[in-house]
Amino acid sequence: MSEHGNVDLKPTPGDRFIKFFKRSDVIQSTIFGVIVTVVFVILGGKFYTQWMPKVMSTDMKAIERLMVVFTWIAAPVCGVVLGIALYTFLNRHSGDTPPPEGPATRTNGPVVLGWTVVTSLLALVAVIYGITEMNSSSIATAKNAEDAMVVNVVGNQWVWTFEYPELGVQSHELMLPINRSVAFHVSSVDVNHSFWPVQLGVKVDANKLAETLADTTPTKLGEFDVKCAELCGLYHAYMETTGEVMTKDDFDNWVIAQGGHTA
Ligand SMILES: [Cu+2]
């Protein structure tokens, strides 16, 4: 039986697909969905970057790009969900009158197939882009270990210690020279911590029995936050310090002031 009470000739999949998009509830939901999608695309591209932590390294730049692209990929999915939600909210029923029963979308094969293919493609693009970006940038890997300045990062309930073995310096603040790649050798003397210099876009586990490596290149002068991102006991929330990206001269002066020797 069709909506009109007649028995139709068997419609082709194309007919069913087109007929679906001629329904007034579908048209309205689609309009809402397109608006939501456009809003999220604009938010992702224009404002997201302002809300995220400042970009101070090559890794943070790559992460920012990744977040923006992922927001764009997720926008149409969000559009469909919120579009239907908005339509449903604006056409809600109250009182004793039951809502009219419409044809079920789940039995419309062509529509279900179309949506499955579209969302699968979106997910596939996200996976491929994500993997490519992870390999091409230096996110959480140590590629420049040869010419990089080594910093041993040691987690300890509840303080971070930074050792510069080549310079003979140790500090509780993470000082780094600009535009020089740095290789973090991260470990812990007690429980598991997670080393997170926020604006550098690095977050890596600090374990007791295995050293983890991460590298990045600071690209912007200024202070940044260093936090612990793994619940590590009573004062976990206070296991934070600051760092600073400095010019090479300022960094050398700092090293000498700390009693170290410049490379
Ligand atoms: Cu912690």
Residue 230 near residue 237 (C-beta atoms within 8 A): no
Mean pLDDT taken over the chain: 88
- In this prediction, residue 138 carries a pLDDT of 54
Query: Measured in angstroms, how far is the CA atom of residue 240 from the centroid of ligand 1?
Result: 9
Question: What protein residues have CB closer than 5 angstroms to ion ligand 1?
Answer: 193, 228, 232, 236, 239
**Statement: residue 142 has pLDDT above 70:** no
Query: Measured in angstroms, how far is the CA atom of residue 140 from the centroid of ligand 1?
Result: 19
pTM: 0.75
Q: What is the mean pLDDT of residues 105-130?
A: 90
DSSP structure string for 75-115 = HHHHHHHHHHHHHHHHT---TTPPPPPPPPGGG-HHHHHHH
- In this prediction, residue 15 carries a pLDDT of 86
**Statement: residue 248 has pLDDT above 50:** yes
Give CA–CA dist 207/183, Å, rounded.
Answer: 17
Q: Can you give the residue ranges of every domain in the chain?
A: 13-94+104-136, 149-257
**Statement: residue 1 has pLDDT above 50:** no
CATH of range 149-257; options 2.60.40.420, 2.40.50.140, 3.40.50.1980, 3.40.50.300:
2.60.40.420
Residue 188 near residue 157 (C-beta atoms within 8 A): no
- In this prediction, residue 4 carries a pLDDT of 55
Nearest to 233 by CA among 172, 155, 157: 157
Beta-sheet strand order (sheet of 222-228): 174-177, 241-246, 222-228, 193-197, 204-206
- In this prediction, residue 226 carries a pLDDT of 97
- In this prediction, residue 99 carries a pLDDT of 72
Query: Measured in angstroms, how far is the CA atom of residue 237 from the centroid of ligand 1?
Result: 7
Residues 6+ apart with CB under 8 A from 81: none
- In this prediction, residue 2 carries a pLDDT of 47
Could you read off the pLDDT of 8-56 as tens digits, one per residue?
Answer: 577 888 888 888 888 888 899 999 999 999 999 999 888 888 888 899 9
Other CB atoms closer than 10 Å to residue 1's CB: what's the count? 7
**Statement: residue 238 has pLDDT above 70:** yes
Query: Measured in angstroms, how far is the CA atom of residue 224 from the centroid of ligand 1?
Result: 18
Q: Is 245 helix (H, G, I), strand (E, B) or coil?
A: strand
Give CA–CA dist 9/232, Å, rounded.
Answer: 67
Query: Measured in angstroms, how far is the CA atom of residue 213 from the centroid of ligand 1?
Result: 18
Q: What is the mean pLDDT of residues 222-236?
A: 95
Q: How far apart are the first and last CA of the chain?
A: 84
Residue found under tokens 């309930």: 157
**239, burial (CB in 10 Å: exposed 0-12, middle 13-18, buried 19+):** buried
Could you read off the pLDDT of 201-214 as tens digits, one per residue?
Answer: 999 999 998 999 98
- In this prediction, residue 10 carries a pLDDT of 79
Query: Measured in angstroms, how far is the CA atom of residue 179 from the centroid of ligand 1?
Result: 29
Task: Please tell me the number of Cα atoms within 13 Å of 193 on its side-chain side.
Answer: 31
Query: Measured in angstroms, how far is the CA atom of residue 227 from the centroid of ligand 1?
Result: 8
